[in-house]
């Protein structure tokens, strides 16, 4: 039975390998290759903080875990993970070495303490004195003293110190690299104007070690970086006297004490220091102890300094205005017709403009919106605050449990409540992941409603790099259903099932979206069995829900044409008895493919939905999610065309198969890159002057 599914965590590693492939691809611009290395590293950090930590906890509850993970033993999966990660880490190191050679061709150099010019040595010493030293706290390590608290996500410099006359006697110390405060990269002066020299903060500190430890009399220093990844999960207690916000705050504090799930170190590290650290951290062979290169916390390289002169941003990577919204009030347009925004090709401005217009419109009475991950300087929040100041009733459903955004969302809660916004914090044991907004206005004693439904977060920063859809509409059915969702969120003790059952225009989770998806698949199965055309196209970030995968198997056995575009986790496997093999691809390119879309042929009537939910059990059964049906004829065609463009990709599409080989689709001699073709398709909709 287990061979009918690919293990979830192993397929996720296959996705991260696709990210690494982008860094390895010499056709990708150099600065983007460095960024992909940063994304790969950040992804892996979160994977160990969440999934590997969960696997280790699950080893104590094997029966439950095996059921949820397609009959895979946690120990077996952990072994597979370690084997794959070590291999990927080797490819990562090779790729970074190659990229540095290409950077050198452009006269861009990563400098260390060993290869500074005299001028640069003076600069680095002065920079350390003026900017860094006040943020550096050296900690001496002793055999008989407990290991000091090490922060997750932080980078540390492990130092072995000796006196030359007593070379065999070492003292050890660690220093946390204060990149949060100072930044990771330092641009150094150069006599050659065409040359760019970048130094990492840990190397600035390493250069100044004799100064830092001068009062100890040591004259021989060896230093190497390491980091510890910790279990990021926390449990919320059941104390009815504390609010959810207080429980989240307590959980964040407890997360800092999480057990280590991975120890990554420079393979050149002093052997005695390495053994000392492993012993002090109570790590064993069961833990992920991974030797790496010199540089760690590579996630910072997503923001590598802009030192690449030869790169000019192509036209296809610039956002443009939606043609129907140019020089028009968004409010006026969407009361007459639906508008589909496709990011990052379309500018995000209309979303903010709509909220700004609503904040100023004297007829607008209320705004209700969900928030999961907000931009750091959110224009969405600014518009909502302006609405409150103008006398509107504003309600924000703020998901405090958005993983790794808990602290920032607690801060947003305080800011919003101080301004008079009514903040909802959700339902016990169910995250609110739906992307919804409804605006109400009263004109001549008549209530008018409009708003939007999205596949992605209301975040103007990520909208520049995440591929998503957002439907702006005044459809009465959709607005009525959004109101029903907010009514449930206002009364978290309500029977959710009963309250959401009457939704007719939105597919909602928990429960009802799953039921509707199964109904749609069953309809296609019936058509296939009758010998008629039956087809479905599903675009999602992850496909791991067992019952839906089995339903896809049933459809493929009946002869339904199934085409899947899955960015990340993909647990399905083609079976021998399928009448129609499942066609599955994954696209990894400059933009993160984040949209969720469902297409069902439905006897030629073509049902199309955009959704916030992935095909994962957690989304369908344990979250509040929403999918909106696209009903306007021109928009249905547009969404279908965009799906077909992606299905024809033969540049950035990889085949998803049982062996997880990430082989590129090679169909046809003419290159067809879907993100570039999507740009041209949407740009061509702009009327020619």
**How large is the average pLDDT for residues 76-104?**
91
At residue 71, does pLDDT exceed 50?
A: no
The percentage of residues in the chain with a pLDDT greater than 90, rounded to a whole number, is 67
Cα–Cα distance measured from residue 259 to residue 275, given in angstroms and rounded to the nearest whole number: 19
At residue 256, does pLDDT exceed 60?
A: no
CA 22 to the chain's CA centroid: 17
Cα-Cα end-to-end distance for the chain: 61
Sheet (strand 196-200) strand order: 108-111, 196-200, 185-188
**How large is the average pLDDT for residues 409-418?**
92
**How large is the average pLDDT for residues 346-351?**
97
2-303 CATH choice from 2.70.98.40, 3.30.420.10, 1.10.150.110, 3.30.1840.10: 3.30.1840.10
At residue 412, does pLDDT exceed 50?
A: yes
At residue 67, does pLDDT exceed 80?
A: no
At residue 68, does pLDDT exceed 70?
A: no
At residue 237, does pLDDT exceed 60?
A: no
- 204: tokens are 């600035």
The percentage of residues in the chain with a pLDDT greater than 70, rounded to a whole number, is 92
Task: Establish whether domains 317-499 and 508-683 are of one fold.
Answer: yes
User: Would you state the pLDDT for residue 406?
Assistant: 82
Cα–Cα distance measured from residue 207 to residue 215, given in angstroms and rounded to the nearest whole number: 16
User: Would you state the pLDDT for residue 293?
Assistant: 78
H or E stretch including 219? none
Cα–Cα distance measured from residue 432 to residue 427, given in angstroms and rounded to the nearest whole number: 8
pLDDT averaged over the chain? 90
Helix (H, G, I), strand (E, B) or coil at 246: helix
The pLDDT-based confidence of 238 (bands split at 50, 70, 90) is low
Of 44-58, 170-184, 526-540, the one with minimum mean pLDDT is 44-58
Residue with tokens 């405060």: 181
Q: What contacts 101, CB < 8 A, 6 or more positions away?
A: none
Of 35-44, 75-84, 102-111, the one with minimum mean pLDDT is 75-84
Residue with tokens 């030629």: 604
Domain parsing of the chain, residue ranges: 2-303, 317-499, 508-683
The pLDDT-based confidence of 179 (bands split at 50, 70, 90) is very high
**How large is the average pLDDT for residues 665-683?**
92
CA distances from 458 to 349, 378, 441, 555 (A): 12, 9, 22, 35
- Answer with the residue of higher pLDDT: 417 or 313: 417
Are the CB atoms for 387 and 366 separated by under 8 Å?
A: no
User: Would you state the pLDDT for residue 60?
Assistant: 61
Are the CB atoms for 586 and 654 separated by under 8 Å?
A: yes
The pLDDT-based confidence of 520 (bands split at 50, 70, 90) is very high
Cα–Cα distance measured from residue 259 to residue 226, given in angstroms and rounded to the nearest whole number: 16
Q: What CATH code would you report for 508-683?
A: 3.30.870.10
Which class is domain 317-499? alpha beta
CA distances from 198 to 103, 188, 236, 303, 514 (A): 11, 6, 44, 13, 51
DSSP 259: P
User: Would you state the pLDDT for residue 312?
Assistant: 77
CA distances from 656 to 24, 44, 566 (A): 19, 20, 8
Could you report the per-residue pLDDT of 468-504, keeping only the tens digit for each? 999 999 999 999 999 999 999 998 777 788 888 889 9
Long-range contacts of 403-412 (CB under 8 A, 24+ apart): 403/50, 403/232, 404/46, 404/232, 405/372, 405/373, 405/374, 406/248, 406/251, 406/252, 407/252, 408/374, 408/376, 409/371, 409/374, 410/245, 410/248, 410/249, 412/371, 412/374, 412/378, 412/381
The pLDDT-based confidence of 422 (bands split at 50, 70, 90) is very high
**How large is the average pLDDT for residues 123-141?**
94
At residue 3, does pLDDT exceed 80?
A: no
User: Would you state the pLDDT for residue 70?
Assistant: 45
Q: How many residues does the chain have?
A: 689
User: Would you state the pLDDT for residue 552?
Assistant: 97
Catalytic residues: 433
Cα–Cα distance measured from residue 617 to residue 620, given in angstroms and rounded to the nearest whole number: 5
User: Would you state the pLDDT for residue 250?
Assistant: 63
At residue 199, does pLDDT exceed 50?
A: yes
Of 127-136, 273-282, 376-385, 560-569, the one with minimum mean pLDDT is 273-282
CA distances from 440 to 176, 470, 508 (A): 51, 19, 22
Secondary structure string (H, E, C) spanning 585-626: EEECCCCEECCEEEEECHHHCCEEEEECCCECHHHHHHEEEE
**How large is the average pLDDT for residues 265-273?**
88
Q: Which of 502, 482, 509, 478 shows the shortest CA–CA distance to 625?
A: 509
- Residue 166: CB atoms within 10 A of its CB come to 10
Q: Which of 567, 605, 642, 687 shows the shortest CA–CA distance to 15?
A: 567
Of 387-391, 403-407, 411-415, the one with minimum mean pLDDT is 403-407
The pLDDT-based confidence of 2 (bands split at 50, 70, 90) is very low
What's the CA dihedral at 640, 641, 646, 647 to 10 degrees?
70
- Answer with the residue of higher pLDDT: 527 or 296: 527
């Amino acid at each position: 039975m287990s061979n009918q599914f690919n293990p979830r965590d192993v397929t996720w590693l296959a996705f991260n390998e696709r990210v690494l492939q982008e860094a390895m691809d010499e056709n990708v611009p150099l600065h983007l290759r460095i960024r992909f290395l940063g994304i790969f590293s950040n992804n892996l950090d979160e994977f160990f903080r969440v999934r590997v930590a969960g696997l280790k906890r699950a080893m104590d509850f094997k029966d439950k875990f095996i059921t949820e993970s397609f009959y895979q033993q946690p120990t077996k999966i952990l072994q597979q993970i370690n084997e794959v990660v070590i291999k990927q880490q080797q490819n990562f190191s090779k790729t970074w070495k190659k990229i540095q050679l290409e950077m050198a061709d452009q006269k861009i150099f990563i400098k260390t303490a060993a290869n500074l010019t005299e001028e640069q040595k003076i600069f680095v010493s002065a920079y350390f004195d003026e900017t860094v030293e006040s943020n550096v706290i050296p900690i001496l390590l002793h055999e008989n003293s407990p290991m000091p608290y090490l922060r997750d996500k932080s980078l540390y410099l492990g130092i072995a110190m000796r006196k030359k006359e007593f070379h065999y006697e070492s003292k050890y110390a660690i220093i946390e690299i204060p990149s949060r405060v100072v930044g990771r990269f330092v641009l150094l002066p150069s006599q050659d104007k065409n040359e760019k020299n970048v130094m990492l903060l840990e190397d600035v500190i390493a250069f100044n070690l004799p100064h830092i430890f001068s009062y100890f009399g040591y004259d021989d220093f060896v230093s190497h970086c390491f980091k510890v990844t910790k279990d990021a999960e926390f449990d919320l207690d059941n104390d009815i006297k504390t609010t959810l916000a207080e429980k989240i705050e307590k959980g964040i504090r407890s997360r800092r004490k999480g057990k280590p799930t991975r120890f990554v170190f420079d393979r050149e590290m002093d052997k005695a220091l390495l053994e000392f650290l492993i012993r002090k951290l109570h790590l064993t062979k069961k833990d992920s102890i991974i030797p790496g290169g010199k540089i760690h916390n590579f996630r910072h390289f997503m923001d590598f300094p802009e030192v690449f002169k030869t790169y000019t941003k192509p036209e296809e990577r610039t956002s443009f205005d939606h043609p129907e919204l140019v020089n028009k009030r968004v409010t006026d347009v969407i009361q007459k017709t639906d508008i589909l925004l496709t990011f990052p090709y379309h500018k995000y401005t209309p979303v903010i403009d709509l909220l700004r217009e609503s904040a100023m419109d004297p007829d607008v009475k209320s705004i209700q919106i969900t928030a999961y991950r907000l931009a750091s300087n959110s224009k969405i929040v600014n518009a909502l605050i302006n609405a409150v100041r103008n006398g509107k009733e504003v309600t924000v459903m703020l998901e405090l449990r958005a993983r790794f955004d808990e602290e920032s969302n607690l801060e947003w809660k305080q800011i919003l409540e101080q301004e008079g916004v009514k903040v909802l914090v959700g339902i016990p044991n169910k995250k609110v992941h739906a992307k919804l907004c409804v605006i109400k206005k009263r004109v001549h004693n008549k209530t008018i409603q409009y708003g939007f439904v999205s596949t992605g977060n209301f975040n103007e920063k990520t909208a520049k790099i995440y591929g998503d859809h957002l439907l702006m509409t005044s459809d009465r059915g959709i607005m009525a259903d959004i109101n029903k969702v907010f009514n449930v969120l206002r009364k978290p003790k309500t029977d959710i099932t009963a309250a959401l059952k009457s939704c007719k225009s939105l597919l909602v989770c928990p429960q009802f979206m799953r039921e509707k998806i199964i109904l749609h698949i069953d309809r296609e199965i019936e058509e296939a069995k009758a010998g008629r055309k039956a087809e479905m196209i599903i675009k999602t970030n992850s496909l791991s829900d067992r019952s839906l995968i089995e339903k896809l198997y049933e459809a493929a056995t009946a002869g339904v044409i199934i085409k899947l575009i899955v960015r990340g986790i993909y647990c399905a496997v083609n079976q021998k008895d399928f009448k129609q093999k499942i066609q599955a691809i994954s696209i990894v390119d400059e933009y993160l493919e984040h949209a969720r879309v469902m297409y069902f042929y439905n006897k030629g009537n073509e049902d199309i939905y955009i959704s916030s939910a992935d095909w994962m059990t957690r989304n369908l059964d344990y979250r509040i999610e929403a999918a909106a049906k696209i009903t306007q004829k021109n928009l249905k065609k547009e969404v279908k065309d965009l799906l077909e463009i992606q299905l024809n990709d033969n540049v950035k599409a990889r085949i998803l198969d049982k062996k997880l080989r990430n082989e590129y689709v090679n169909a046809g001699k003419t290159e067809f890159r879907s993100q570039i073709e999507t740009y041209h398709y949407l740009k061509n909709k702009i009327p020619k002057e």
